[in-house]
């Protein structure tokens, strides 16, 4: 099924989930596709189309039940459970990510930190001891790690990825500025802040 | 023109630029659309289609001249010049971003840092003194700031954005987990790492 769902749809589902949480926090029990559209800066038709990929929700004229749709979106996005995550790379970006509270609140639990720097290996970050790259396979296996947050230099990224894939990793949030080569069953999301700045300067330049 | 160019195309243009820089570093003068496709994990037809938005490049059977296409992509992406950037929010993410060398290498020059915390205001980061939010308008005007990197808590983000827009900001790289409301002439790129993790867990869940 995932093959047919565009990335923009998935992103909107995440937005709808946040809106539903806000609306539930306001103590309300139903919401219209118009209001979800308004909060997500899209159209009511788009909301209905996005949700239609995953079954039938809501009643014409009555809208959606907030708790029901919220729980269903948690399931669809796979965040109705805990995901074990390893942080690979204990540099500046790794450090900022490690202390980022939003990850854990959504069920992404960092259970291991890996770095190649001998001066960092063995250091404690919170309750976790920084491990050397040689332990990647055993950490994945023994801790049930499914996701990597990869914050290492470009030249190290593919080699670490190959080892993680061999050991059964399922998804990678990639901060290294390269396109990782992975088999089709492994999901990759690239975070490339320079490219996002380029998208801004592109938009401004073409507009001007 | 920017209205008609999809975000995925812009991202591929950034990838082509990186590939061209690598190829130029290898001392080569021409490249085929097939090779650009291969390095960018797309198809040759897609490469030709992406570039066709911006004019006529390359010769059938001869490929593209590397230096010519590289310079043209710099122009198209608007990175053939320096962009003055302000970092708004001197927290953990702001700190990691400030020391991120890739920004400056691409012409994004941080010329101001702003934070609301009285304990941070006045501190020096490199050659820059952290300024209070009250100075946002005067900083934009006096320093010619066009881009904001917005790394502040969600509840502060819209108010700061409104002031920046009023003072003439043109683009915002937004780390706050909200959808900023801006007029259509202001470009926004959202960085939402939790949503990118959700895209991973979605892909793995739907696949499983």
**Test mutation, A6, A148, A189, A198, chain B, max B CBs within 10 A:** A198
B156-168 pLDDT, tens digit per residue, is 999 999 999 999 9
Name the residue of chain A whose CA is nearest to B197's CA: A173
Cα distance between residue A70 and residue A178, in whole Å = 35
B-proximal residues of A, 62-91, CB under 8 Å:
75-79, 83
Residues B4-59 have pLDDT tens digits of 678 888 989 999 999 999 999 999 999 999 999 998 889 999 999 999 888 877 77
User: What local confidence, expressed as pLDDT, does residue B2 receive?
Assistant: 42
Residue B186 to residue A152: CA distance in whole angstroms: 33
Q: Which residues of A touch B77 (CB under 8 A)?
A: 198, 201-202, 205
pLDDT in tens, B129-154: 999 999 999 999 999 999 999 999 99
- What's the Cα-to-Cα distance from B16 to each of A49, A90, B7, rounded to whole Å? 33, 30, 14
Say yes or no for a CB contact (<8 Å) between A189 and B197. yes
Domains of chain A: 2-75 (1.10.10.10), 83-195 (3.40.50.720)
B83 by Cβ neighbours in 10 Å (0-12 / 13-18 / 19+) ranks as: buried
Q: Give bridge partners of residue A44 from the DSSP assignment.
A: none
CB A42 within 8 A of CB A12: yes
Query: Which of chain A's residues have a Cβ under 8 Å away from the Cβ of B18?
Result: 177
Instruction: Name the residue among B1, B40, B102 with its Cβ closest to that of A177.
Output: B102
What's the mean pLDDT in B58-70? Answer: 86
Work out whether strand B128-131 and strand B124-125 pair parallel, antiparallel, or are unpaired.
antiparallel
- Say if the Cβ atoms of B197 and A173 lie within 8 Å: yes
Residue of B nearest to A184 (CA): B207
B14 → closest Cβ in A10, A76, A198? A198
- How far apart, in whole angstroms, are the C-alpha atoms of residue B132 and residue B138? 11
Can you give the pLDDT at residue B4?
A: 65
10 Å Cβ neighbour count for A182? 18
- Residue B1 predicted with pLDDT over 80: no
Q: CB of A97 within 8 Å of any CB in chain B?
A: yes
Per-residue 3-state assignment (H helix, E strand, C coil) for A111-171: EEEECCCCCCCCCEECCEEEECHHHHHHHHHHHCCCEEEECCCHHHHHHHHHHHHHCCCCE
List the single best residue of A197, A207, A208 to mutate versus B (max B Cβ within 10 A): A197
Q: Which of B1, B77, B201 sits opposite A198 (nearest CB)?
A: B77
Tens digits of per-residue pLDDT, B76-129?
999 999 999 999 999 988 998 888 877 888 899 999 999 999 999 999 999 999
Selection from A97, A70, A6 nearest residue B199 by Cα: A6
Task: Inform me whether the pLDDT recorded for B3 exceeds 70.
Answer: no
Q: Quote the CA–CA distance of B49 and A207 in Å, as a whole number.
A: 21
Sign of the dihedral through C-alpha B192, A173, B90, A197: negative
Digitized pLDDT (tens) for each residue of chain A, 208 residues in all: 444 678 888 989 999 999 999 999 999 999 999 999 998 889 999 999 999 988 877 777 788 999 999 999 999 999 999 999 999 999 988 998 888 877 888 899 999 999 999 999 999 999 999 999 999 999 999 999 999 999 999 999 999 999 999 999 999 999 998 889 999 999 999 998 999 999 999 999 988 6
Contact criterion met (CB < 8 Å) for B200 and A179: no
| Cβ within 8 Å of residue A27, ≥6 positions away | none
Chain A residues in contact with B146 by the CB 8 A cut-off are: 204
pLDDT of residue A4: 65
pTM of the model: 0.86
Return the residue matching tokens 């790259």: A133
ipTM of the complex, rounded to two decimals: 0.92
Residue of B nearest to A81 (CA): B201
């Amino acid at each position: 099924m995932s093959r047919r769902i565009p990335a923009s749809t998935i992103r909107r589902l995440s937005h709808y989930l946040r809106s539903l949480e806000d609306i539930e926090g306001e103590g309300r029990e139903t919401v219209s596709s118009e209001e979800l559209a308004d909060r997500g800066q899209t159209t009511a038709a788009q909301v209905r189309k996005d949700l239609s990929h995953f079954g039938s929700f809501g009643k014409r004229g009555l809208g959606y039940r907030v708790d029901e749709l919220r729980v269903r979106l948690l399931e669809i996005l796979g965040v109705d459970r805990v995901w074990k995550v390893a942080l690979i790379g204990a540099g500046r970006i790794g450090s900022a990510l490690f202390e980022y509270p939003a990850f854990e609140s959504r069920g992404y639990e960092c259970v291991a930190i890996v770095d190649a720097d001998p001066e960092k290996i063995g250091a404690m970050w919170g309750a976790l001891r920084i491990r050397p790259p040689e332990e990647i396979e055993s950490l994945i296996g023994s801790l049930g790690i499914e996701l990597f947050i990869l914050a290492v230099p470009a030249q190290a990224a593919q080699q670490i990825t190959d080892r993680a894939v061999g050991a059964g990793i399922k998804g990678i949030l990639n901060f290294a500025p390269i396109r990782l080569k992975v088999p089709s069953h492994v999901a990759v999301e690239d975070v490339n802040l320079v490219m996002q700045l380029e998208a801004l300067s592109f938009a401004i330049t073409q507009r001007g």
